[in-house]
Structure 1
Amino acid sequence: MFFNLNHAQNFTPGYIMVLHTFGRDLKWNPHIHCLLSEGGYSNDGFWRHVKHFNYNYLRNAFRTALLNELEDRIGPSFKKVKAKCYTQHKQGFYVYAKPNLCDPKVVAKYIGRYLGRPVIATSRIDRYDGDIVTFHYNRHEDEQYVEETLPVMDFIKRLIRHIPEKHFKMIRYGGLYARHRKIDSKLHRVISKEKHRIYRSFTQWRTSLFLSFGYDPLYCSECNHKMEFLELYYNHKRVPLEEMYEKVMSKSRGKRSSA
């Protein structure tokens, strides 16, 4: 979708994907939550704002990408199931997306808590007597209040099925947010080396934030005071952050002047 904005410039957004395997009733319900930037950077560092998304395209693109990935992993035996999925889901796979009209800081705080939450909050567990567990939830379809009572072992079974395997990644970063490891190569369109150097270099993180969002992370947004003391360990050496920043900036200025 972003790539179609300009094929030559290859506009790339940033996105974070979080896998949840549970529904409100604790049953198996795998789905993905995705945070997507409202715009993307081109290869030459130009930002293009995108406020409205084509959700029909998103549903169809999600269906195609997921089915192709499953076929690559499962093999030719998946082709019949794949064809059936296209027949039964002509409008694409389900994508729930609506614009957020709240303050961005409020939205970010809410989503941060929501994505990182456990399978069930203790506030939803109403009673436990050693044998029986009673919990409640609002049904997703109609927000109807539902109270459910289970034997304790059945309740535990519903919980432990959502424990991921060791080292299994539940969170993925793509596009501008990606770490660009080989394992993530299929998750995002590869951006240019120049763009990677500008926006993803660890040693230029302060410059990247300033170029991307227009503020200096070392200055307080409330009182405008600069951080007086902050140090990092870089190449096993204790280096003041300010010194590291000045070295990076001087090196960057030298490259631009030589060019």
Structure 2
Amino acid sequence: MGILEGKTILVTGVTMNTSIAYKVAEIALAEGATVAVSNFGRALSLTNRIVKRLDPAPPVIELDVTDADHLAALPARLAEAGIERLDGIVHSVAFANPETALGGKFLTTPPEDVAQAIHVSAYSLVSLTMACKPILNNPASVVGLTFDARVSWPTYDWMGVAKAALESTSRYLARYVGSDGIRSNIVAAGPLDTIAKKAIPGANTFNDIWGDRAPLGWDDHDATPTAKAVVALLSDWFPATTGEMIHVDGGLHSTGA
């Protein structure tokens, strides 16, 4: 019996088979979960194609986490796919304009692009959770993904600020929904060669940093360790853990220069 046997999980942001979200969906299915995935816009067609590699192929829900109508309709859209209740949510959604908010442009980024980055990458953790709250079981688990934003990183700029906001948002979410049996935690992954990473100018420098400093080493092509941590947090094996950030980065966070 898998650790997610009998649970139903919504995994947002599944785009390619190289994404963390895809690997989470794959492992969750292997661990016995019923899974639904979501995406929107031009990426939706990619999602519809890539989920055919999963067994069974999960239903795909169109969901823009910044669209109030999409959020309001989410329980009904899940019900149409045969999902009446949820035990877990994976927040794998982030965006910052690579032309203005990343790659060393921190001091000149327009405020509207900062607002967009924080809305998509941080506030949506709350709006998504609240949209799903009427159909969340007790207990339930919400897990977000970050790139450790306790420090500054080269080129990461306003996405780093947005991720810092996400990490804090998860702690406040844990405070306010804990009485409903909902846990909120974050997994801080090392650099992985995903579409999101490729959109960050100069992000390949992270591979060199991790190659030199991660005590356990780091494979930037393997999302499995990160996905396993997410699945573990979705399970009943962390029943009293909330407001936490778990590092899956080969140990680099624990090192100095």
- TM-score, normalising length from structure 1? 0.24
Q: Which protein has greater RCO, CA pairs closer than 8 Å, 6+ apart?
A: 2
Higher-Rg structure is 1
Q: Which has the higher helix share?
A: 2
